[in-house]
Amino acid sequence: MGRGQRWVLGHGRWFGFGLLPALVTFVLYAAALAALAFWADDVAAWATPFADGWDETWRSILRGLFAVLLWLGALLLSVLTFTAVTLLVGDPFYEKLSEQVEESEGDCPEGLDRPLWLELWASLCDSLYVLWRALLFAVPLFFLGFVPVIGQTVVPALGFCVSGFFLTLELVSVAMQRRGIPVRERLAILRTRRALALGFGVPLVLAFLVPLVAVVLMPGAVAGAALLVRDLMDAGTGGDGDVAAGEVQGGAAADPRVNPAAGTRPPGGSSQ
């Protein structure tokens, strides 16, 4: 993550280039979260009709807790989907930025030759898949948030880890799409390097909680993801140019193969 931020700060023109899509998306998300905060009490009352006959104190505590957890859940969801929406809105911007990062490092893949609408459609489908996988964790964690003590300590920590992992998956999509790696194989590759994925994504999730920070860090996050993918490809490239993706859940081995024509570098190539 630090390497990506240093890269964009050292290339000021590309830093400004990458700010535009993130700024537009941030304004939209800020407006949505503000509206949810304004209507959260009404939503809580609508969702808990069984508490209408409770004592006013307990009813207020329950609905207040529900409203807070609802807004926090929306905030975490916005952190996760912010990247997906920003990448979709700024697909041409971030594709060019990612290419520039790889060109500066040498041996940039040529990418797939397909029209812009098809690129946007592929990005949307990939983002929906990532969101669906993330919700499989986020929904149970939301309800576990009502459990005393654990819901206020362990659950938020797990939520940040889940968000960080899938945020990394979203960010590496730009460079991995250029190599022709499907989203399921990207997930399998990152599972073999969970610590790396969390180390990259969790600090970004925490930083994205601060207003406007997501906008400022987004160009460097895309640049850092491009560098991260190069490290993954170097570490997993064998003598025949295949990527060793490790094991998938259930014990089945995943062997995502990278098309040499898409830019896979030979073993020993520098990622620095």
Phi, psi of 182 (to 5 degrees): -65, 160
| pLDDT for position 156 | 86
Per-residue model confidence (pLDDT) at position 249: 36
Please report the pLDDT score of residue 261 as a whole number.
38
List of the chain residues with pLDDT < 50: 237-272
Q: Which stretches of the chain are DSSP H helices?
A: 2-10, 12-47, 56-89, 91-105, 116-144, 154-171, 173-178, 183-191, 194-208, 213-236
Q: Which residues sit opposite 253 in a β-bridge?
A: 247
pLDDT attached to residue 178: 84
Q: How far apart are CA 137 and CA 130, in angstroms?
A: 11
Between CA 79 and CA 90, with CA 85 as vertex, the angle to 5 degrees is: 125
Task: Count CB neighbours of 34 within 10 A.
Answer: 10
pLDDT at 113 (0 to 100): 63
Q: What's the confidence (pLDDT) of residue 116?
A: 64
Fill in the amino acid letter for 240.
Answer: D
pLDDT at position 111 is: 61
**Distance of alpha carbon 177 from alpha carbon 256, whole angstroms:** 13
Closest CA to 165 of 144, 136, 125: 136
Under 8 Å between Cβ of 198 and 252: no
Other C-beta atoms lying within 10 Å of the C-beta of residue 119: 16
Q: What is the pLDDT of residue 252?
A: 38
